[in-house]
Amino acid sequence: MTAELAVNIAWEPKIIAFCCQYCAYSAADMAGSMRLQYPTDVEIVLIPCTGRFDVILALRAMEKGADGVYVAGCLEGNCHFLDGNIRARKRVNFLKGELKNIGFEPERIEMFNLSASQGPRFAEIARDFTNRITELGPSPAKKVRNF
């Protein structure tokens, strides 16, 4: 067995979910309370509002080994800081273009909106995004840095 094959067999996606402390994190909490299953590959990072999300956060996460990143915030029109989620969506769309320019699949970053009562939707997003990243395979950054 080659070393590369051994690495591929052992690979599991690492996903960072930047969740706003209001709706998205509450939905994650509800998913946990309801004992809904979602992949353990998703690591939640709590942020005050998705308006706090910055492209540097996503790029740093990818640099540190994340294969995919998503941002989860309140429903449009329901951000507790008025338009944080609108600004976050613009940043995510901007980053999709930049990732494409450097040879990354833009599908490795996504924005989701959900309400605090959508625990099942939170679990569904985590499962679907994990499946997406699993199909894409390891981040191109891992091939360059070999980690």
- Nearest distance in Å: CB 103, ligand FES: 30
Question: Is residue 50 near ligand FES by the rule CB under 6 A?
Answer: yes
Question: Is residue 122 near ligand FES by the rule CB under 6 A?
Answer: no
Alpha-helical runs (H) found in the chain:
3-10, 23-33, 55-63, 84-101, 119-136, 140-145
Which residue's CB is nearer to ligand FES, number 83 or number 124?
A: 83
Residues touching ligand FES, count (CB under 6 A)? 13
H/E stretch holding 70 reads strand 68-73
Question: Is residue 30 near ligand FES by the rule CB under 6 A?
Answer: no
The Cα 118–Cα 3 span in angstroms is 42
- Nearest distance in Å: CB 80, ligand FES: 4
Burial 91-129 (b: 16+ CB within 10 A, else e): bbeebbeebeeeebbeebbbbbbbbbebbebbbbbbeeb
- Nearest distance in Å: CB 125, ligand FES: 15
Tell me which residues in 68-87 interact with ligand FES (CB under 6 A): 73-74, 79-81, 84-85
Which residues of the chain form contacts with ligand FES (CB under 6 A)? 20, 22-23, 49-51, 73-74, 79-81, 84-85
